[in-house]
Amino acid sequence: MSKTMSLNELTLSDARDKLRAKEITAIELTEACLSAIEAANDALKAYLVVTGDKALEQAKKSDERLAANAKDARALEGIPLGIKDLFCTDGVRTTAGSHILGNFEPPYESTVTQNLWDAGAVMLGKLNMDEFAMGSSTETSYYGQTVNPWRAKGSDENLVPGGSSGGSSSAVAAGLCLGATASDTGGSIRQPAAFTGTVGIKPTYGRCSRYGMVAFASSLDQAGPITRSIKDAALMLQAMASYDLKDSTSVDRPLPDLEKALTQKFKGLKIGVPKEYRVDGMSKEIEALWEKGIDIYRQAGAEIVDISLPHTKAALPAYYIVAPAEASSNLARYDGVRYGLRANGRDIVDMYEETRSHGFGAEVKRRILIGTYVLSAGYYDAYYLKAQKVRSLIKRDFDDAFETVDVVLTPTTPTPAFGLGSKKDADPVEMYLNDIFTVTVNMAGLPGLSVPGGLSAEGLPLGLQIIGKPFDEATVLRAGQVIEDAVGRMPIPEPWWAGDAAKPADNAKKKAEAADNAPEKKAKKKK
């Protein structure tokens, strides 16, 4: 990096080491992140809420602990993180990007975030996302659109940060936190990571507790981290994952030491390359990226094996039946009685209808309609049951493949980041096609990682996806490290967004206040 590096640009693992060596303090690190947010949030709109006071309070406690005994510091002591607004945070507004949750302040903490605080992490605030995690661009958020810190060479067009975890990917890529939580139902960790040059891992279904995570499609939803390096992803996932009695689908299976796994032997590993992922119309660039990945593995002493996952083609249509079906049922709880928004109505039915029609955005309504339709009597067998059968076949394809290979390598997305608003008038299916390489992994419940593989001709990041055996996140991350070692970590782009940063302090203060209040203000304006 050309300019002098400020603390918020450190990787999580470097910051951890510097904190323990007493080269920096948690307060300094947190303040660096808070000023970076202040300078960037007007342009990038990654944070919906900034919890500066809470962050500084937590950082102070971490400094006290580190001063008392740095050797016994907890895993993430003093590390400032951003939290996707899908995770319930005790007393801090949680909207899931939806108007219908209004000013909901959960009276409890999600297990994943509690695990992070118990590991000593510091909470910077809540990050924007597609409404109820439905989308691939963070454009369906009720609270405005998040912007990708990356721009094409010589262009000043704003690009999407991917979705649904676009607040998380944008914040991490721009250095507005050292890592962020995210969630992935069909690709929402991996696709935004690919669009922003960051690393994202969706662990095996059941690794991270879903308790306190706003539900989209419960049989597919999984939490995971977005970070600036593979090692950071390993450290964060280690802290996030746990067996949790509060989530009946949580799995009691010890997670090995993921940081240690990164240095384990790689030579001789078998890498599967599925021919079905060579989809029609795949760009030359993505094809070249994939070839590059294969080459890196060959050079590293891996064995490349051609494999077949014959039901890949059916995965996307089946996903867009299963996910809306579960969403239509999960979202039935937003009725104006229990949480957030309530619209006036003549009677109770009218109140329900008014609340739901004002509270949900267009994409969410589309999913509820599709979901209700595919679950209705007379259509259930033709759609939902059929989709579940397809799901079993997809899982079986992977089971067969993993008899011969250790991991599977594919591109993460069919294209690099696209322009904000550029798909506004397009058929919704065009947006759904973003998930073509990622949904299979959720359908089969497997761990999947996106790691930067290089830049497009226009200078935009591209991601490679590594898919692993159930509960084998260690090998997935190990394989990711090989790519990162060969390609290098993506830099934080030149901060075009900080144009106003040098303005007088009172101006910056005003901006920070505005960022704190943004969701309410916009909510009023919009309606």
Residue numbers at the binding site for ligand GLN (CB under 6 A): 133-136, 164, 184-188, 216, 323, 435
Alpha helices per DSSP H over 300-438: 315-330, 348-359, 362-375, 386-401, 428-432
The SS3 assignment for 125 reads strand
Decide if 364 contacts 97 (C-beta within 8 A): no
Tell me how far apart the alpha carbons of residues 145 and 166 are, in angstroms, rounded to a whole number.
9
Q: How many CA atoms lie within 13 A of 120 on its CB side?
A: 22
Tell me whether residue 133 or residue 405 sits nearer to ligand GLN (CB atom).
133
Closest contact distance (angstroms) between CB of 178 and ligand GLN is 23
Smallest distance, Å, CB 185 to ligand GLN? 4
How far apart are CB 305 and ligand GLN at their closest, in Å? 28
Residues pairing with 407 in the sheet:
271, 468
Alpha carbon distance 89, 156 (integer Å): 36
In the complex, least distance from residue 396 CB atom to ligand GLN, rounded to whole angstroms: 23
Out of 62, 136, 141, 188, the active site residue is 188
Q: Give DSSP secondary structure letters for 223-256.
A: EEEEESSHHHHHHHHHHH----TTSTT----PPP
* Nearer CB in complex with ligand GLN: 62/146: 146
Nearer to ligand GLN, 58 or 164 (CB): 164
Q: Exactly one of 45, 84, 202, 511 is catalytic; which is it? A: 84
Q: Is 164 a catalytic residue?
A: yes
- Nearest distance, CB of residue 517 and ligand GLN, angstroms: 27
Q: Is 84 a catalytic residue?
A: yes
From the candidates 164, 165, 209, 242, which is the catalytic residue? 164
Rounded to the nearest whole angstrom, what is the least distance from the CB of residue 84 to ligand GLN in the complex?
10
Q: How far apart are CA 317 and CA 436, in angstroms?
A: 10
Output the CA torsion sign for 207, 18, 166, 145. Answer: positive
- Which residue from 222, 243, 226, 244 is spatially nearest to 235, judged by alpha carbons? 226
Element holding 179 (H helix, E strand): strand 179-184
Considering beta carbons, is residue 188 or 209 the nearer one to ligand GLN?
A: 188
Active site residue 45: no
CA–CA separation, 183 and 131 (whole Å): 13
Which of 133, 131, 170 shows the shortest CA–CA distance to 42? 170
Residue 323 or 408: the one with the smaller Cβ distance to ligand GLN is: 323
Nearer residue to ligand GLN within complex by CB, 272 or 448: 448
Tokens of 405: 């290979």
Tell me the catalytic residues. Answer: 84, 164, 188
